[in-house]
Amino acid sequence: AIERTLSIIKPDATRRNLTGKINAKFEDAGLRIVAQKRIHLSLAQAGKFYEVHKDRPFYGELCEFMASEPVVVQVLEGEGAIAKNREVMGATNPANADEGTIRKEFALSVGENSVHGSDAPETAAQEIAFFFSGLEITG
Ligand code: CMP
């Protein structure tokens, strides 16, 4: 089925001017960027977005990193977009990521891992609604 998923190009990647190279990976994989904006999250907004991780030891570090510099938030659309995006991103820890994936090529560490992608249909819907109104998304 055609799905939509929420993607974030993280501060380690925007800082190194990798937005275009990462978007090329998405587009080459058949994912269409149907919404996109560059924003600088506040610490509170980052904390809210990653609330499910609030009891993890890395939560504070994760939120500070995500609020440290601008990110690019986007909606990717395509056949099986949620799983496809996760394939293109590669494993969370770049040390475990397959050749050719975004995280293998660009990520610096498990924290500074260049991209975020929704992990399931329910979280995708929730995460898209966190950043975008319906009016901002176009086929
Ligand atoms: P993401 O897909 O954005 O969702 C939660 C993030 O937490 C994850 O990517 C990682 O970047 C980050 N993360 C996971 N484990 C660690 C860790 N041990 N230290 C720092 N950050 C982590």
* pLDDT score for 40: 98
Nearest ligand 1 atom to the CA of 62 is: 21
111 lines ligand 1 (CB under 6 A): yes
* pLDDT score for 132: 98
Q: Which residues are catalytic?
A: 116
- The CA 133 to ligand 1 mean position distance, Å, reads 26
Q: Where residue 139 falls among pLDDT bands split at 50, 70, 90?
A: confident
- The CA 38 to ligand 1 mean position distance, Å, reads 21
Percent of the chain scoring above 90 in pLDDT: 99
**Of 60, 117, 111, nearest to 86 (Cα)?**
117
pLDDT tens-digit series, residues 78-89: 999 999 999 999
62 lines ligand 1 (CB under 6 A): yes
* pLDDT score for 14: 98
Q: What are the start-end ranges of the E strands in the chain?
A: 2-9, 32-39, 71-79, 115-117
Write the DSSP symbol of residue 30: T
10 lines ligand 1 (CB under 6 A): no
What residue owns the CA closest to ligand 1's atom 3? 116
First-to-last C-alpha distance (Å) of the chain:
15
The reply to whether the predicted model has a pTM over 0.90 is: yes
The torsion angles phi and psi of 117, rounded to 5 degrees, stand at: -140, 145
- Residue 86, annotated ligand binder? yes
Q: What is the ipTM of this complex?
A: 0.93
